[in-house]
Amino acid sequence: MSAYLDHAASTPMRPEAFEAMVPWLQHQHANPSGAHRLARDARRAIDEARDVVAAGLGVDPGEVIFTSGGTEADNLAVLGVHDRRGGTVVGAATEHHAVLEPVLSRGGRIVTVGPDGVIDLDALAAALDPHVMLVSVMLANNEVGTVPPLAEVAEVVARHAPGASLHTDAVQAFSWLDVATGAASADLVSISAHKFGGPKGIGALAVRSGTPLSPRQIGGGQERDRRSGTHNVAGIVAMAVAMASTVEQRVATVARVGALRDRLLDGLLAEIPDLVETGGPRSARVVGIGHVCIPGVESEALLFLLEQAEVYAAAAASCASGAMEPSHVLAAMGVPRGVAFGALRLSLGWCSTDDDVDRALEVIPPAVERLRRFAGSAATGPTSVAARVGRGTTP
């Protein structure tokens, strides 16, 4: 029996999203920018999808820009506002690299977070001034699941940087939170379909009208000149179907997956001595992400043992795993380096089951015990523990 516990990296496609996508890959191949009937059909499908996505994000259809995913949406938000307005850009220390790198590339300011991973509002106020033109604070963190008080963030921004636009990366939030309400105070909102049951390679940036933005991709003038490039019709249609299902089932899914997450974490806490649950109270984190740190164990080695037992999880953000540096999120939260080396993210999704939790609880505690025995007998650093179980790095 296997258990996939890496839904925050990518969650399986919903069958209805897959089915909706197939005709646009198989038979309906016209370019939606064309003039004939087949092109108009494709354009209509995009328009219908745009209505669904706009409703899910609480914006007008004309405020939705389809992108190739969350990374492009985040880049477009930060760089697009900066290209248009200049000034200073500001981001929280725990942002995804898709936000952090653009902020740093423009010489922006990074704001500290508290031990619970929530942005420090005093530090935010101190980082702001009238020259700040963009502030980016994510709606749910991809490693520990923390949800910041975005409306309060917006108030601080309005008070100290009245000309600034507020961007929120809602990529990890969409499955679990009513983004239309939760991101109502943001001017720009990023999402990515493969985190909520759509395909990889499609996402969107919602940009409320009046928000100044320069395009990053220029050419044929699609998306009202805000993002040129032939539309990914199949991806857009499938994303909308996945989004509609996510919104319709969200309340029930959150209740069901929340109970699974609690059983998983409580089971690990009961079985593994000294295990530390990361982040603030569970009620202040999205239900899909469980994060723990296991002192005396190195994540790389643990992930290897779990994989052998067909339990698939992650150490840090999936893009960052492979590096032996502890995650920037845990570092920003002040988790000691030695503890952060034992980070384990167990993330659940719309199709997670009790069997997944049972399997994880069956496999993880003995794997930890085995590694701790190795570590005790080796009296060496974490890398050599990884080497002893047969693996130095992850691909």
Is 351 among the residues known to form the active site?
A: no
- Smallest distance from ligand PLP to CB 193, Å: 8
CA separation, residue 246 to residues 69, 193, 287, 290, 351 (Å): 17, 11, 14, 20, 11
- Smallest distance from ligand PLP to CB 331, Å: 17
Q: Per-residue x/- mask for ligand PLP, residues 107 to 126, rule CB under 6 A?
A: --------------------
Query: Residue 142 interacts with ligand PLP (CB under 6 A)?
Result: yes
Q: Per-residue x/- mask for ligand PLP, residues 162 to 191, rule CB under 6 A?
A: -------x-xx-------------------
- Smallest distance from ligand PLP to CB 167, Å: 11
Angle value at C-alpha 256, between 250 and 259, nearest 5 degrees: 135
Which is nearer to ligand PLP, 215 or 235 (by Cβ)? 235
Closest C-alpha among 186, 68, 172, 167 to residue 108: 167
- Segment interacting with ligand PLP, rule: CB under 6 A, options 64-72, 110-118, 255-263, 385-393: 64-72
User: What is d(CA 274, CA 246) in angstroms, rounded to the nearest whole number?
Assistant: 36
Residues numbered 253-292 forming contacts with ligand PLP, rule: CB under 6 A: none
Judged by CB under 6 A, the residue of 4, 5, 57, 74 near ligand PLP is: 74
Q: How many residues bind ligand PLP (CB under 6 A)?
A: 13
DSSP H helical ranges for the chain = 15-26, 37-57, 70-85, 97-105, 121-127, 150-160, 179-182, 233-271, 299-308, 328-332, 337-340, 354-378, 382-388
The residue assigned the tokens 């920003």 is: 332
- Segment interacting with ligand PLP, rule: CB under 6 A, options 68-76, 110-118, 206-214, 385-393: 68-76
Query: Residue 6 interacts with ligand PLP (CB under 6 A)?
Result: no
Closest C-alpha among 129, 95, 89, 124 to residue 109: 89
**Burial of 1 by CB count in 10 Å (0-12 exposed, 13-18 middle, 19+ buried)?**
exposed
The token pair that represents 233 in the structure block: 């019709």
Which is nearer to ligand PLP, 13 or 305 (by Cβ)? 13
User: What is d(CA 200, CA 197) in angstroms, rounded to the nearest whole number?
Assistant: 9
Query: Residue 96 interacts with ligand PLP (CB under 6 A)?
Result: yes
Pairing state between β 88-92 and 109-111: parallel
- Smallest distance from ligand PLP to CB 78, Å: 12
- Segment interacting with ligand PLP, rule: CB under 6 A, options 34-42, 63-71, 101-109, 385-393: 63-71
Which is nearer to ligand PLP, 63 or 95 (by Cβ)? 95
Closest C-alpha among 20, 58, 11 to residue 233: 20
Query: Residue 192 interacts with ligand PLP (CB under 6 A)?
Result: yes
Query: Residue 203 interacts with ligand PLP (CB under 6 A)?
Result: yes
- Smallest distance from ligand PLP to CB 187, Å: 17
- CA–centroid distance for 163 within its chain: 27
CA separation, residue 48 to residues 41, 43, 68, 238, 335 (Å): 11, 9, 18, 11, 46
DSSP 339-391: HHTTEEEEE--TT--HHHHHHHHHHHHHHHHHHHHHHHHH-S-HHHHHHHTT-
Which is nearer to ligand PLP, 28 or 394 (by Cβ)? 394
Out of 22, 319, 323, 378, the active site residue is 319
Residues numbered 352-371 forming contacts with ligand PLP, rule: CB under 6 A: none
Query: Residue 143 interacts with ligand PLP (CB under 6 A)?
Result: no
Query: Residue 198 interacts with ligand PLP (CB under 6 A)?
Result: no
- Segment interacting with ligand PLP, rule: CB under 6 A, options 65-73, 219-227, 230-238, 372-380: 65-73
The token pair that represents 302 in the structure block: 């643990």
Quickly count: other Cβ atoms within 10 Å of residue 31's Cβ. Answer: 15
Judged by CB under 6 A, the residue of 32, 56, 58, 70 near ligand PLP is: 70
User: What is d(CA 297, CA 340) in angstroms, rounded to the nearest whole number?
Assistant: 10
Residues that bind ligand PLP (CB under 6 A): 69-71, 74, 96, 98, 138, 142, 169, 171-172, 192, 203
Tell me which residues are annotated as active site.
319
